[in-house]
Amino acid sequence: MSIINLTPDSFSDGGVNPVASDTDSTAAFTDLITQHLTSGATILDIGGQSTRPKAPMITPTEEISRITPSIRTISALLASLTCPNPHASISIDTFRASVARSAIAAGAHIINDVSGGLLDADMLPTAAKLGCTTILMHMRGDPSTMNSKANTSYPHGLIPTIATELLARVRAAEQAGIRRWRIILDPGVGFSKTQAQNLELLRRFDELRAWDGLRGIPWLVGASRKGFIGKITGVKEPRERSWGTAAVVAGGVRSGVDVVRVHDVEEMGKVVGMADAIWRV
């Protein structure tokens, strides 16, 4: 999964990517997407609202205005004869049902909700009505509160608690009408977790996959360039954390991750290819 943030304030690539809003920028955006697809991306994750810690919240209207022109541009590219991977999917990274509806109408296929449907009560029923695949991530609180002491406390154990809380989201999704085979889970690396907890989560990920009630559901992990990688490797600039990210990606493949969400598509594609060859013969 390739990260395409259309935000001015994301922690790593805020304001970096072109936005398909006029003729010149649309051409640059199309070139960017073509590059990602050529490099091996099979899912393009489009985001218009930053979810970094304490990120300011924009209105749904502004979020929709950021993402819909780019989604339409990608849809047109995927339908063209020159597309390097016409079978790629478009994912909308949002926790708002109204944004998800607009994105799917513009051509997106997948809803990627960092709150697992907790921040908008209409999200799960909307996803069910739209009939699209939905990614449910583990997070407590919202981006302004997720890393508070209360939300990073796991007195009953990290893995059992994440498993229990994700299982509750799976059940809520199924009750809303989302088919189980339309659900992908994300343990939420970097969300509501300390550095030590992020490492424990990655170390014990195979236990989470095997948890009763979660077994057989596909998993996504997104740790690309995150702060805990920078602290461990001593790299302050997020865009220079590719080596640390590569280690997490390789470890994820070894532990059974099905999708990795990354910024550096070409480099991480090579890491995935090698890791697959070693552990998924």
Q: Are 170 and 186 in contact (CB under 8 A)?
A: no
Question: Annotated catalytic residue: which of 140, 193, 209, 261?
Answer: 261
Tell which residue, 142, 124, 44, 50, has the closest CA to residue 87. 44
Question: Annotated catalytic residue: which of 96, 140, 226, 241?
Answer: 226
Query: What one-letter code names the amino acid at 189?
Result: V
Structure tokens at 33: 């997407």
Q: Assess whether 226 carries a catalytic annotation.
A: yes
Q: Assess whether 261 carries a catalytic annotation.
A: yes
Distance CA 210, CA 207 (A): 5
Distance CA 244, CA 248 (A): 7
CA atoms within 13 A on the CB side of 125: 4
Phi-psi group of 234: left, alpha or beta (phi > 0 → left; psi -120 to 50 → alpha; rest → beta):
left
Active site residues: 226, 261
